[in-house]
Amino acid sequence: MYGKKNKPDLPLDCEEGGRGLQEYLDGTLDKPESLRFFLHLRECTDCQGEHDRLQGLFRMLESLPDHEVPADFDRAVLDSVPYAAYQAMEPLRRDRVPVYLEEAFLPRFVRARLTRLVGFGIAAVAAALALRGDGSALLPVLIVTGLLPEVVVRLQGLGRRALETTRRAES
C-alpha cells in the first residue's frame, strides 16, 4: 500500500509515483498527496503516459457489459476437475488448527506426564499445608504453579475438541 513513507513537502519522483498511481486514480489519497501526483504528472510525460494507459484500461473495463453467472457454473467447474486431482488438493482444503491449539505448541517438558504428575503432587502438598494452616504466603503460588502444566494441557485439548465440534456442526 502506498503512503507509508510519503514525503508531502518534497516533489514526487517517478518511482514513488508508480507505487501510488493506483491510489491516485482511485481518489483515495489525501489532498496534499493528490496534489503532488497532479504536479508530477503535469511535468513527467512517462508517468502521464502510464496514467493515461491505466485510465483508458479502467474506462474500457467499466464499459464491458455485466454478465450473470450461469446457474450451472459451480457444477461445470466441479465436473471439469478430475477426482484424483481433487483428492490431491485435500491438504489445501483441510481447515488448519490454530497454532496455539497444536500439541507441539507447548514445550515437551510441559506436556510430559512426569512434569504434570510432579506438579500435581506439589500442588496437593501445598494445598494440604494451606488447609492445615501451616503455611506461608508462598503456598498459593506453589498450588498455582504446580497445577499450571495440567491446566494448560487440558485447556489446549478442550480447545481442539471445541474446534472439531464446531467444524462438524458447520458441515
Report the length, in residues, of the chain: 171
**Residue 57's domain spans which residues?**
14-63
3-state secondary structure of 25: helix
Whether 59 and 117 share a structural domain: no
Whether 59 and 105 share a structural domain: no
Amino acid identity of residue 128, one-letter, is A
Judging by beta carbons within 10 Å of its beta carbon (0-12, 13-18, 19+), is residue 131 exposed, middle or buried?
A: exposed
Residue 120 pLDDT: 92
Q: Does the residue 3 lie in any domain?
A: no
Amino acid identity of residue 131, one-letter, is L
CA atoms within 13 A on the CB side of 22: 4
Whether 105 and 162 share a structural domain: yes
Per-residue pLDDT of the chain (171 residues; tens, 9 = 90+): 555 455 656 788 888 888 888 899 988 999 989 898 899 999 999 999 999 999 999 999 999 998 888 889 888 888 887 877 777 777 766 666 677 788 788 899 899 999 999 999 999 999 999 888 876 888 889 999 999 999 999 999 998 888 888 878 876
Residue 79 pLDDT: 83
Residue 82 pLDDT: 80
What are phi and psi for residue 39, nearest 5 degrees? Answer: -65, -40
Q: Does the residue 4 lie in any domain?
A: no
Whether 106 and 157 share a structural domain: yes
Q: Does the residue 112 lie in any domain?
A: yes
Give the integer Cα–Cα distance in Å for 77 and 79.
5
Note if the pTM is more than 0.95. Answer: no
Q: Does the residue 166 lie in any domain?
A: yes
Give the integer Cα–Cα distance in Å for 86 and 92.
10
Structural domain tally of the chain?
Answer: 2
